[in-house]
Amino acid sequence: MTDSKYFTTTKKGEIFELKAELNSDKKEKKKEAVKKVIASMTVGKDVSALFPDVVNCMQTDNLELKKLVYLYLMNYAKSQPDMAIMAVNTFVKDCEDPNPLIRALAVRTMGCIRVDKITEYLCEPLRKCLKDEDPYVRKTAAVCVAKLHDINAQLVEDQGFLDTLKDLISDSNPMVVANAVAALSEIAESHPSSNLLDLNPQSINKLLTALNECTEWGQIFILDCLANYTPKDDREAQSICERVTPRLSHANSAVVLSAVKVLMKFMEMLSKDLDYYGTLLKKLAPPLVTLLSAEPELQYVALRNINLIVQKRPEILKHEMKVFFVKYNDPIYVKLEKLDIMIRLASQANIAQVLAELKEYATEVDVDFVRKAVRAIGRCAIKVEQSAERCVSTLLDLIQTKVNYVVQEAIVVIKDIFRKYPNKYESVIATLCENLDSLDEPEARAAMIWIVGEYAERIDNADELLESFLEGFHDESTQVQLQLLTAIVKLFLKKPTETQELVQQVLSLATQDSDNPDLRDRGYIYWRLLSTDPVAAKEVVLAEKPLISEETDLIEPTLLDELICYIGTLASVYHKPPSAFVEGGRGVVHKSLPPRTASNESTESPETAPAGAPTGEQPDVIPTQGDLLGDLLNLDLGPPVSGPPLATSSVQMGAVDLLGGGLDSLMGDEPEGIGDTNFGAPPPAAPARVGAPIGSGLSDLFDLTSGVGTLSGSYVAPKTVWLPAMKAKGLEISGTFTRQVGSISMDLQLTNKALQVMTDFAIQFNRNSFGLAPAAPLQVHAPLSPNQTVEISLPLNTVGSVMKMDPLNNLQVAVKNNIDIFYFSTLYPLHILFVEDGKMDRQMFLATWKDIPNENEAQFQIRDCSLNAEAVSTKLQSSNIFTIAKRNVEGQDMLYQSLKLTNGIWVLAELRIQPGNPSFMLSLKCRAPEVSQHVYQAYETILKN
């Protein structure tokens, strides 16, 4: 007979009867009664009244009965804490039972009873079980510590359980090791600052030994723990990789993905020239391919992870294109994911296969999938230049099928192909024009209008075509209206005589009859441009468009590095860092890949700047017109407002993200004029880089009075014009950088050369090599009247986001006022980043000079400098370049100097001065040699001014 009978009783005096049975002397009857109680509890009846009677049944040797009673206890202890204390004695007794299964059961149940009153009674039994001779009991006790820590963290720390857990990592039994690692990882996750898992090569070795022998979940815990370790050098990384590689052939896909995560992370530290690196790449492909033969849900998770891996290291799967071909019975979510990876892997070698496959997909029945396939053909054309010809002819074949949605998608992608390869495939325009009438989707209509406007001079009846769209202007979507307005203005600028009426018609439709502010604004801009300065209009509207790049949907590199550290978790399926979707007080630690170089000075070693980057040249930041015109009015640009609306005073604006995704989002490749730019969207949560340089901390956050007093700071260059008035609608910005008493400032001079008052100023920097960022909002206290100039000192700090720039000292800046947002870039002199504690002691200097490899030494000549050694030393010291020792060798003065940058990079220098000779020799040594050129420029600037 089965246990279903326990669920069938519906007698009235049930509780009373059960009470009697529970107190019966017969063991069998007792067991039956407890089973009935558990059955009632399972279906939701309240049987808490039987608590004392059930607890009495704990005194038994029968394991089955004990398990049932413990189950009841876990369920009701929270609602009956006073009664639960009655059970404590039994726990203490059970923890000393000769049967290890009972000892473990007692410990497990203790951990599940979340009652504060009981926890302190449980410390003693738990301590004994952690040192139990039976590994099964020890492994259960290890997990119990994590549960107890969740209830009362202080108690666990005071009782020394954490140290016992750390000792268990060296246990002889692999399962105990795995559970100890799991418990410590769990505790460390909720207390990110605790540094519990203090891993060193010895403990790593123990974990790797246990890895081969524990259960699959144990292996996952150990692999996840290994992934958080940073090896000290490439040799250690290689030896860990060698010992983790066998896990790739495990049957459990979670173990495989955890092993892939460890290998992907440690490969960062291996040199690409190593034979082992190549072997490892070859070994990573088969397990990933095997994952694709699992059931669809697992395939999807594997594909999302593979998508990340292919973006980071496409070479792993470059020969495995065929496994990503779509099967007829794949669910749609798997098909779309495979399609995405096919495009990422497309190259000249396999493009023929890929195109044949994509053309096949375009004739499928699933509309969504067909659309994606047609779009994929276009992406292939943009990615692999040699295939563009074949892609275009494939798209034309598809247009000939006259299937509505296929034609529309094809036109959208052909527009992108025109942008990528101008003046190459325009012969197909005639074919496109034949399909004008069948277009009913906004994106396809907008693409077609763009093509007609862009190539109006090649289409005889361009005006008729655009006029046909104009008839239903008010019924079109905003995207089509904006595109139509721009196209007709382009047509007018190319054929002014024939299209005067048409352009007037569209301008009045856009400005007088429309209630869409974006459309109205763009209409007025064109109207004024055309009426005041047709030449300027031509330059603006018919400007050469930047070519579009092939991969528009790549994940941003720093985010990709973080997601690689989360392979095999939910973050790798969402393609978002945990901080974006995990709520609550759990500290989410940002992870990042280990640095590639062996340098231990700077985790973010800047990329080599061109050796002779002339300081005078201003690198340009060119936002595309689509981005700028897209949303002129939406300047209150913070994240989406969920609380009270943000005040738009200038003080508040300093904290608001002016640019959504930072300046890099302005490099988008939107065709000129499409108006749905996401101007005010909050940026994706970018991972805080581990090792982002920390500047002088909070001391300079509030130092708004920088420059008070006449302390001799470092050399200050005269102000130069950074943003001329003609480029910024009348706002001229000049400036320079200063460093005084440890505080960096940007000294700005704002001049209003326009005819209207300027207000609401705010400033924002793009990410840059040294994390420079404004430490306070841009304070312009009164409105700036025409012809008025105001001087402002903006305090800076170096705790902003870091991204290598080229050249290294390039700073891209956005300034907003009530008129618009303006962009400029400038080069800051490196000596503003030389910190005050940059003097090394002699022994340290000698040891470091020897330690830095000779290939990192750079030599420069400083000409036309007539100072003597004493004056040189004094002058450099005022800019935080410190002389450590001075020697005279064969009549030459040798100065040994050190300086330190805000991100902790040390630079050591040897300066040779020959009395009477105006040329000095400067030798620089640094672990990040790309800094040397800029340090030399700083020396020149300081000594010659």
pLDDT attached to residue 537 = 86
The answer to whether residues 425 and 447 touch, using CB atoms and an 8 Å cutoff, is no
Label residue 65 by pLDDT band (50, 70, 90). Answer: confident
> Phi and psi at residue 553, in whole multiples of 5°?
-110, 25
Measured between alpha carbons, how far is 697 from 775 in angstroms, rounded to an integer?
10
Q: What is the pLDDT of residues 316-345, one digit of tens each?
A: 888 888 888 988 888 999 999 999 898 888
Measured between alpha carbons, how far is 315 from 320 in angstroms, rounded to an integer?
10
Strand partners for 802: 768
Q: What is the pLDDT of residues 781-826, one digit of tens each?
A: 888 888 899 999 999 999 888 888 888 899 999 999 998 899 999 9
pLDDT attached to residue 589 = 66
Quickly list DSSP for 883-943. Answer: EEEEEEETTEEEEEEEEEBTTS-EEEEEEEE-TT-S-EEEEEEESSGGGHHHHHHHHHHHH
Label residue 197 by pLDDT band (50, 70, 90). Answer: confident
pLDDT attached to residue 551 = 61
Q: What is the pLDDT of residues 344-392, one digit of tens each?
A: 888 888 888 888 888 888 888 888 888 889 888 888 888 888 888 888 8
Strand partners for 885: 896
Beta-carbon count within 10 A of 583 CB: 7
Measured between alpha carbons, how far is 879 from 900 in angstroms, rounded to an integer?
11
Does 681 score more than 70 pLDDT?
no
Q: In the predicted model, what is the mean pLDDT of residues 447-456?
A: 87
Beta-carbon count within 10 A of 24 CB: 12
* pLDDT top residue among 619 and 909: 909
Does 11 score more than 60 pLDDT?
no
Nearby residues of 434 by Cβ (< 8 Å), 6 or more positions away: none
Residue with tokens 């279903």: 4
Label residue 504 by pLDDT band (50, 70, 90). Answer: confident
Quickly list DSSP for 434-468. Answer: HTGGG--SHHHHHHHHHHHHHTGGG-TTHHHHHHH
Tell how far CA 829 is from the center of its chain. 29
Q: What is the pLDDT of residues 883-899, one digit of tens each?
A: 999 888 888 888 999 99
Which two structure tokens, joined as six digits, stand for 669?
């490749």
* pLDDT top residue among 184 and 61: 184
pLDDT attached to residue 828 = 92
Does 59 score more than 80 pLDDT?
no
Label residue 397 by pLDDT band (50, 70, 90). Answer: confident
Label residue 763 by pLDDT band (50, 70, 90). Answer: very high
**Intra-chain end-to-end CA distance of the chain, in Å:** 100
List Cβ<8 Å contacts ≥24 apart for 168-173.
168/130, 168/138, 168/142, 169/203, 169/206, 169/207, 170/203, 170/206, 171/135, 171/138, 172/135, 173/135, 173/138, 173/139
> Phi and psi at residue 752, in whole multiples of 5°?
-95, 105
Residues of the chain above pLDDT 70, percent: 85
pLDDT attached to residue 4 = 67
Minimum mean pLDDT range among 111-120, 645-654, 773-782, 791-800? 645-654
The answer to whether residues 245 and 572 touch, using CB atoms and an 8 Å cutoff, is no
pLDDT attached to residue 91 = 77
Strand partners for 900: 906
Q: In the predicted model, what is the mean pLDDT of residues 449-465?
A: 84
- pTM for this prediction: 0.58
Q: What is the pLDDT of residues 843-884, one digit of tens each?
A: 888 888 888 888 888 989 888 888 888 889 998 998 999 999
Does 211 score more than 90 pLDDT?
no
Minimum mean pLDDT range among 44-53, 370-379, 504-513, 735-744? 44-53
